[in-house]
Structure 1
Amino acid sequence: MSGKRPTLADVAAAAHVSTAAVSRVINDAPGVSPETRAHVRQVIDRLRYRPDPAARALAFGHGSVVELVVVDDAATFGNSPYYGRVTAGILRELAGGEAQLRVHVVEKPDAADRLAQIADSVSAGVVLINVSPALAAEFYARCDRVVSMGPSAPGVPFVDMENADGAYAAVVHLRDTGRRRIAALHGQEGNPCADARRAGYLSAVRDLGLADISAVGKLRREAGYELTVRLLERNPDVDALFVACDLMATGAMQALADLGRRVPRDVAVVGFDDSVIAVCTVPPMSSVHQPVEAMAAAATRALLDRDLAPGWRRVFPATLQVRDSSAGVATGRRY
């Protein structure tokens, strides 16, 4: 192609099909056999063809679109405060402009195929959540107009926060309020945010000379409940919990109540995210503030401004919001 950007006509010529057939493949439209569809996609990959976003916007009669792609099940998407906050942050940045938001909630078994389809039809850009590093790298090779919420594959632009620093601050706060058996409920291994929060906890207990009392599970309310019950069976003298997310922490607080443990008198609790959940628990929950809306808005602004070089990142600081769930020492004295 002599260095010029390949066109749809170039793809059609190389694949020995019509431009209409290539268009159907790109748009996942009917009218093309599976064999032809697979062959055209191979040619698209070989030529590194990327549809022109402006042309696609005109063809479909709309302005540019920001795609939010979440790899998770629909029920979790609907129940998670985090996803709602990301959506709110994107919409805040799009307000008053011509760009629109389109949301894709993708089940994990379908993720590879759906991400390939989305990569071939991007206009303004894509915000990725819960996409594995391998799939994020494949997506980035096809489409460089992408930002991940949290780090993923090397080179893929991302927004993040100082997760490890936030976890460290939470443990120091619990120690400073008189707690000495500080346990942690960590998120699943392989989740970059959960891994960083685990690293911050481990660094803090090591520096403070405390025991590592940990349990690992999914970032879900049910997991928080079950892990707390099992952890206290093995370690009945635990007097504080650092929990990897607020949703998980609500399950932990319910388990403590069912076990007759008072919060914070018997067991202090600190969550992570500082979502609306944190101020709705009884007592209100201390939590590490994650500026999710601002992070999502920053990702969206970078896409709209086309301000994304390989390795672009923006990392936000962590701050601890102290509330009643951790405000007293084990004797019941309040601060």
Structure 2
Amino acid sequence: MPHRKPTLADVAAAAGVSKAAVSRVMNDAPGVAPGTRERVRAVVERLGYRPDSVARALASGHGDVVELIVVDEPGVFADSPYYGRVTAGILQELAGGSAQLRVHVVEEAEAPALLAKVAETASLGVVLSNVAPRLAGEFYERCERVVTLGPSAPGVPFVDVENAEGAFAAVVHLYETGRRRIAGLHGQDANPDAVARRQGYQRAVRDLGLPEISAVGKFRREAGYELTVRLLAEEPAVDALFAGCDLMATGAMQALAELGRRMPDDVAVVGFDDSIIASCTTPPMSSVHQPVEQMAAAATRALVNRQLAPHWRCVFPADLRVRKSSAGG
């Protein structure tokens, strides 16, 4: 016989209290004495009780909610085109239905507490963005209704784009336009997408017989600027830059302009994301297209339709959009 999951009634019986008291403890509601609250929590831990989050949410009138959890600085969330596109994709998928979107933006230090809370209260499910694989894996152990944007811990469902292939195509394009000293500006090693894009860059320069010229920083405009200034001081012959995201690429383009390097004549630039800013730079930026809205919509659709299973994944192709920042030269 399969092992039966403990119920709220089991907790109440073991703790010698009513089911209503257990419910108040689980929801951090008032009306339970401190000693009783501690006893209930100890029983919950001992029995391994996990409430049916969907039933709780629907019963309380707060069901049909998709939670988006972003681990990043609030200012970055506000400024980044990526997060705006994620939000738009989720809302697009939810349009016309009764489900709503709830957005949480939290910095890394506060992430574990928020994730633990949401794992117990999630209704339709949760989309995780920029959450460390370890935390995503721990969340998945407590709540299986989750999709991460980008690969994460083993078994956790995710949506992604062909990051390595897109980076590879960007470097090949730069090579085909005559570039021979192609530098890579890569995102931080803790980000699986950044790692995959760096691997695509490394495979391309290796296959093409080019030197690897790399720098690593955060997916920020400021990082792109600082890394470019440093790279050109150390490697003045660099004639092309592949940046792991458009924000880094805009910082790189700013640095090139201030250093008197013409684009694309002296240094060609290719970004990754193909966000709105790619067509607004001077010159317009070549970028690997990432269908962020469709990716977020796919994650949401899987949650709403309850299509998830361990190791579920949905990977979109990446293609290069060539503009004036890398054409010619």
- Measured in 2, the distance between the counterparts of 1:275 and 1:76 equals 15
The runs of 5 or more residues in structure 1 that have no matched partner are: 330-335
- Relative to structure 1, the CA distance from residue 320 to residue 48 in structure 2 (aligned partners, 3 Å threshold; closer, same or farther) is farther
Deviation at 1:71, TM superposition (A): 1.1
Give the whole-Å Cα distance in 2 for the aligned partners of 1:41 and 1:205.
56
When residues 17 and 269 of structure 1 are mapped into structure 2, their CA distance, relative to the original with a 3 A threshold, is farther
Paired position in structure 1 for 2:109? 109
The residue type equivalent to 1:237 in the other structure is: A
TM-aligned CA distance change 1:233 to 1:43, over 3 Å? farther
In the alignment, structure 1 residue 122 sits paired with structure 2 residue 122: yes
Structure 2 match to 1:49? 49
* Counterpart for residue 293 of structure 2: 293
Deviations 1:45-87 (A, max 9, x none): 5544343345333433244111111111211111111111111
What is the deviation of 1:117? 0.8
| Counterpart residue number, 2:85 | 85
Contact 1:165 1:318 in 2 (8 A): yes
- Superposed counterparts of 1:167-178, under 5 Å: 167-178=167-178
Q: Distance in 1 between matches of 2:158 and 2:95?
A: 22
Residues 13-67 of structure 1: per-residue CA shift (max 9 Å, x gap) = 3344443443234334455677766664554455443433453334332441111
1:187–1:40 distance in 2 versus 1, CA, 3 Å: farther
Distance between the aligned counterparts of 2:293 and 2:326, measured in 1? Answer: 25
Q: Which residue of 1 aligns with 2:76?
A: 76
- Output one character per residue of 1:285-334: Cα deviation in whole Å (capped at 9) or x when no partner: 000001111011001111111111111111111100000100013xxxxx
Distance 1:189 1:54, change over 3 A: closer
SS of residue matched to 1:324: coil
Counterpart in the other structure of 2:245 = 245
One-letter amino acid matched to 1:173:
H
Question: SS state of the match for residue 214, structure 2?
Answer: strand
Cα distance change of structure 1 residues 19 and 223 upon mapping to structure 2, 3 Å threshold: same
When structure 1 is superposed on structure 2, of 268-277 and 40-49 the one drifting more is 40-49
SS in structure 1 of the partner of residue 131 of structure 2? coil
Residue 13 of structure 1 aligns with which residue? Answer: 13
Counterpart Cα distance in 2 of 1:35 and 1:90:
43
| Cα distance change on mapping 1:32 and 1:57 into 2, 3 Å | same
Paired residue secondary structure (1:9): helix
Q: Which residue of 1 aligns with 2:282?
A: 282
Task: Quickly say closer, same or farther: Cα 1:59–1:207, change in 2 above 3 A.
Answer: same
Matched, 1:273 2:273: yes
Q: Mapping of 1:1-335 within 5 angstroms?
A: 3-30=3-30, 40-41=40-41, 43-329=43-329
CA separation of 1:54/1:212 partners in 2, compared to 1, >3 Å: closer, same or farther? closer
SS at match of 1:325: coil
Cα distance in 1, alignment partners of residues 325 and 315 from structure 2: 28
- Secondary structure in 1 matching 2:121: coil
> Would the aligned equivalents of 2:65 and 2:101 in 1 still touch at CA under 8 Å?
yes
CA pair 87-47 structure 1, distance change in 2 beyond 3 A? farther
**CA-to-partner distance for each residue in 1:141-198, whole Å, 9 max, x for gaps?**
1111111111111111111111000000000000001101100100011210000000
Give the AA of the match of 1:259. L
TM-score by length of 1: 0.92
Kindly indicate whether the alpha-carbon contact (under 8 Å) linking 1:27 and 1:117 is maintained by their aligned counterparts in 2. no
Structure 1 residues 256, 303: closer, same or farther in 2, change over 3 A?
same
- Asked whether the 8 Å contact 2:269–2:326 carries over to 1, the reply is yes
Root-mean-square deviation (Å): 2.0
Q: What secondary structure sits across from 2:241 in the alignment?
A: strand
Deviation at 1:9, TM superposition (A): 2.2
SS of residue matched to 1:262: coil
Distance 1:77 1:37, change over 3 A: farther
> TM-score, normalization: structure 2?
0.94
Distance 1:75 1:13, change over 3 A: farther
- Give the number of equivalent residue pairs: 329
Q: Work out the CA distance in 2 between the residues paired with 1:158 and 1:27.
A: 29
- In structure 2, runs of 5+ residues without a counterpart are none
Q: How far does the alpha carbon of each residue in 1:252-299 deviate from its partner, in whole angstroms, 9 at most, with x for none?
A: 000000000011111000000000110110111000001111011001
- Return closer, same or farther for 1:105/1:195 CA change in 2, 3 Å cut-off: same
Q: Percent sequence identity over matched residues? A: 74
> Structure 1's 36 and 78: CA in aligned 2 closer, same or farther, altered over 3 A?
farther
| Alpha-carbon distance in structure 1 between the residues aligned to 2:310 and 2:234 | 47
